[in-house]
Amino acid sequence: MHSDQMSQLDSLVRVARVSGDAERAPRTYVALSAVAPVLCFVPLGVVVLVYGFGAQRALEAGDRDLASRRGRVARRWLVATVVFGLAIDLVLAGALIVLGAFSH
C-alpha cells in the first residue's frame, strides 16, 4: 500500500472508532439498581434506584449526557450499597460467631 492509502485507511479507522463510541448507549444500571436494595442495604439501594431509573428516563428522552451523568452516580451509589451491605453482613456474622450462635 502507498502512504496515501495508509493515511486514508488510518482516518477511516479513527472515524469508525469515534462513531462506534458515540453510538454506544450510556449504562443506566437499572437491573442492578433493582437488585441492590433487596440483596445489600435498602436505604442506599433506594438512592441507586432513583438514579438508575433517572438515567433510563433521560436515555429514553434522548438526553445522553444526562443519562451518562446519572448512570455514573448510580454506579457510585451501587458500589457504596454493596460495600456497606457486605460490611454489615460481616459485622453481624462476626457478632453471631462471638456470641456462640453457631455452636451446639
Domain ranges of the chain: 27-98
Residue 21 in 3-state DSSP? helix
**AA identity, residue 61:** A
Percent of the chain with pLDDT over 70: 77
Buried b (16+ CB within 10 A) or exposed e, 67-93: bbbbbebbbebbebbbeebeeeeeeee
* pLDDT tens digits for range 49-92: 999 999 999 999 999 999 999 999 999 999 999 999 999 999 99
Model pLDDT, residue 69: 96
47 and 4 Cβ atoms separated by less than 8 Å: no
Distance CA 71, CA 41 (A): 19
Q: Name which of 27, 66, 38, 33 is nearest 48 in CA terms.
A: 33
